């Protein structure tokens, strides 16, 4: 028997006290035991996913976003953004080495690769924190774990051996599919 059923079945309270206690128990139970029902669940928090979730929330839908690891997905955390940060460091290094081409006195440049990688990770982390702020600002629930779409408009999210289920009227999947042992051959025309 759940907390809500126990609360409702106690009939010796007067109606006002009963309502007040039941309301508090429902609030407590919803935080810890009962999984939420959403209008929209977005699976994947990459550039398409977090923008979709924000817009849905702005339109008044109760929204949740499911992400496996860090907000921003593969693009922001491991792909596009860190790569662009590495390329920018290489570009600055090239500019320094060709300072004379710009009318500047040449300076001997060197680099420490761990520092370049640390800068790249810092850029990605800063952007991920920005997305986290946008999720809070737009009142979007963030659920971390591996999502699996089930029958009946439900999503199971597996994390740390637990698999809670969430339901939604609409489920939007915006994923990057990583194909293992797959080679893509480009043909030069």
The predicted-structure confidence for 158-185, as pLDDT tens digits, reads as follows 998 889 999 999 999 986 655 444 444 3
Residue 56's Cβ-side half-sphere holds a number of Cα atoms within 13 Å equal to 24
Residue 178 pLDDT = 53
The predicted-structure confidence for 3-23, as pLDDT tens digits, reads as follows 344 444 444 444 444 445 555
Residue 103 pLDDT = 87
Distance (Å) of CA 185 to CA 54, 111, 159, 177, 188: 37, 34, 36, 18, 10
Residue 67 pLDDT = 94
Residue 25 pLDDT = 59
Residue listed under structure tokens 């640390």: 118
First CA to last CA across the chain, in angstroms?
A: 69
The predicted-structure confidence for 25-66, as pLDDT tens digits, reads as follows 555 554 554 467 899 999 999 888 999 999 999 999 999 999
Do residues 63 and 56 make contact, with C-beta atoms less than 8 angstroms apart?
yes
The predicted-structure confidence for 136-155, as pLDDT tens digits, reads as follows 999 999 999 999 999 888 99
Residue 91 pLDDT = 92
């Amino acid at each position: 028997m759940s907390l809500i059923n126990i609360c409702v079945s106690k009939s010796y309270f007067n109606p006002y006290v009963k309502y007040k206690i039941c309301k508090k128990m429902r609030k407590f139970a919803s935080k810890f035991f009962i999984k939420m029902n959403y209008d929209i669940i977005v699976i994947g928090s990459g550039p398409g996913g977090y923008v979709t979730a924000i817009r849905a929330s702005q339109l008044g839908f109760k929204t949740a976003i499911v992400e496996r690891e860090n907000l921003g997905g593969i693009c922001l955390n491991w792909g596009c953004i860190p790569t662009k940060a590495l390329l920018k460091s290489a570009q600055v290094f090239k500019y320094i080495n060709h300072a004379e081409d710009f009318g500047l006195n040449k300076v001997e440049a060197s680099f420490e690769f761990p520092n370049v990688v640390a800068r790249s990770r810092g850029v990605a982390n800063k952007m991920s924190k920005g997305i986290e702020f946008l999720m809070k600002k737009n009142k979007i629930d963030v659920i971390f774990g591996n999502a699996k779409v089930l029958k009946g408009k439900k999503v199971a999210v597996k994390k740390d051996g637990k698999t809670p289920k969430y339901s939604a009227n609409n489920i939007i999947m915006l994923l990057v599919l990583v194909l293992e042992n797959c080679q893509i051959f480009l043909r030069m025309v």
